[in-house]
Structure 1
């Protein structure tokens, strides 16, 4: 039982363990996470493990998310030329265009969540996705936040009984972290535009857009991509 430190400690008497500077047994726990991540090591492990259930039902989860989004914010439909005429849940649920877009958004979220082990790469990717929304006519920064509750509803629907109170809390922390990062990328692109006369924002958006906007896909990306 226990880690190697436990074995080392148990193999020496009390006085020797102090003199030999045996590390505290607390060190046996999971390694600390990056200080920038609002999750503990255990929470991150739970998040990644739980997400596997979502990754097996990406399209279904994405469609549920968008149906909930448009139910709560019908005005956002006008930002999507390909499916702005889908006024009913039935039409939205069977739309190939919406399914395609939902997949792109979910793939962006998937890449972000799988990137939580490498926050430098995570920030670069999500910032680029956020910046790419500068190219969407009529998009507003606050639209990113409109995807938060629809996302949580969709995840809850997909996971069912696995969506415990503890898991719910972890998903709330994670989606908030992702949206905050999208917003930061969106805001930074405005500063780049000012500093470089527009060139900065464009290139920044281009990179993340490939994975993200490649479907206008950021989370709140979700919210929009006028096509």
Structure 2
């Protein structure tokens, strides 16, 4: 997994936040907390490719995005359709809408953005449960097989728009977090079985 992340440019994947937020241990570095086994575990990547610190940092950053998840999801899809107009034609509920204002207020887009954000939230909230996340993302991939013209690589088309939406909405999700999450989603959804 680490080699895949390096290929994507994520060799510093998942932030360098080193301070604990625990009031009883304020000022101590995360790696100084707990026994030696916990120290070792905090730096050792789990099956999901993240160590304890990185998973914690990802969940904390994600909370900011989820404060207005629907608006974020809509912004992400608006940007996706600007760069990949052909993907919009796959959605029956808004394939023929050309106006940004109409598209932004379209109930079908809002519904789909909500579904996507809920799936991402489930994956991030349970990032420590590798099997749950893998099954969730495989199920998501399998649910898209039924759409004519859909290819697994379509999932990766959201990477740029996702990162742009992070910037535009001012949410503090680190680029490495987003890249890691999107790459994992692509790995599992590309092979839905």
Report if TM-score (shorter chain) is over 0.5. Answer: yes
Provide the rounded CA distance (Å) in 2 between the counterparts of 1:64 and 1:94: 11
CA displacement 1:38-68 (0-9 Å, x = unmatched): 2222111110001111111110100001000
Partner of 2:71: 60
Partner of 1:31: 41
Provide the rounded CA distance (Å) in 2 between the counterparts of 1:3 and 1:45: 14
Partner of 2:60: 49
Provide the rounded CA distance (Å) in 2 between the counterparts of 1:55 and 1:3: 29
Provide the rounded CA distance (Å) in 2 between the counterparts of 1:176 and 1:158: 22
Provide the rounded CA distance (Å) in 2 between the counterparts of 1:99 and 1:58: 10
Provide the rounded CA distance (Å) in 1 between the counterparts of 2:155 and 2:38: 39
Provide the rounded CA distance (Å) in 1 between the counterparts of 2:107 and 2:135: 31
With the length of structure 2 as denominator, give the TM-score of the two structures: 0.75
1:183 aligns with 2:182: no
1:132 aligns with 2:143: yes
Question: Alpha carbon RMSD of aligned pairs, Å?
Answer: 2.0
Aligned pairs (5 A) from 1:208-227 = none
1:169 aligns with 2:176: yes
Choose 1 or 2 for highest CA Rg.
1
Which 4+ residue blocks in structure 1 deviate beyond 4 angstroms?
Answer: 1-5
Deviation at 1:4, TM superposition (A): 6.0
The number of residues matched between the two structures is 162
SS in 1 for 2:109: helix
Structure 2, unaligned runs of 5 or more: 1-24, 26-31
CA displacement 1:114-157 (0-9 Å, x = unmatched): 12111111111111111111111221222111111111222233
- Name the structure with the higher helix share: 1
Provide the rounded CA distance (Å) in 2 between the counterparts of 1:132 and 1:73: 21
- CA change 1:4–1:175 in 2 (3 A) is closer
1:86 aligns with 2:86: no
Provide the rounded CA distance (Å) in 2 between the counterparts of 1:35 and 1:29: 14
Provide the rounded CA distance (Å) in 2 between the counterparts of 1:100 and 1:182: 20
